[in-house]
Amino acid sequence: MKQLALVFIGGGLGSTLRYGLSKYLDSFETGIPYGTFAANILGSLLIGIILGLALKNETISTNTVLFLATGFCGGFTTFSTFAYENHVFLRAGDFMSFALYTIASFVVGFAMVFMGMWLVKLL
């Protein structure tokens, strides 16, 4: 039950921060979802750091990993919003934004996970 509560609280904090980031960064003039992109990229970097530390030091408890990686990062990042935003681009016929957003999200997201783990190795 404690682990479920940790994921729940972490997810709520992450979701709240993502909402605020989207409200602050999304461009209503261009329709470009900078907030979702930033959340997914920052979340990818953060989960790389968290899991890298957990693997390297074994000093991070399972509960801390559940709270930060599963809960917070899971709530902070969002695949469903990413998918919907791409649906909007396609429905509008904006194939260039669709392609750029999709490719950049995957490439930069993967790079940030690897960068986070690499940064932990440097410590």
pLDDT digits (tens, 9 = 90+) for 78-103: 898 999 999 999 999 999 999 999 99
Q: How far apart are CA 44 and CA 116, in angstroms?
A: 8
pLDDT score, position 9: 98
Written as six digits, the tokens of 53 are 């530390």
pLDDT for 32 equals 86
Other beta carbons less than 10 A from residue 116's beta carbon: 19
Q: Is 60 left (phi over 0), alpha (psi -120 to 50) or beta?
A: beta
Nearest to 15, CA basis, from 1, 30, 35, 34: 35
Is the pTM higher than 0.95? The answer reads no
Domain that holds residue 65: 2-122
* Positions in the chain whose pLDDT score sits under 50: none
Residue 93: in which H helix or E strand, if any?
none
The total number of structural domains that make up the chain: 1
CA gap 98, 6 in Å, rounded: 35
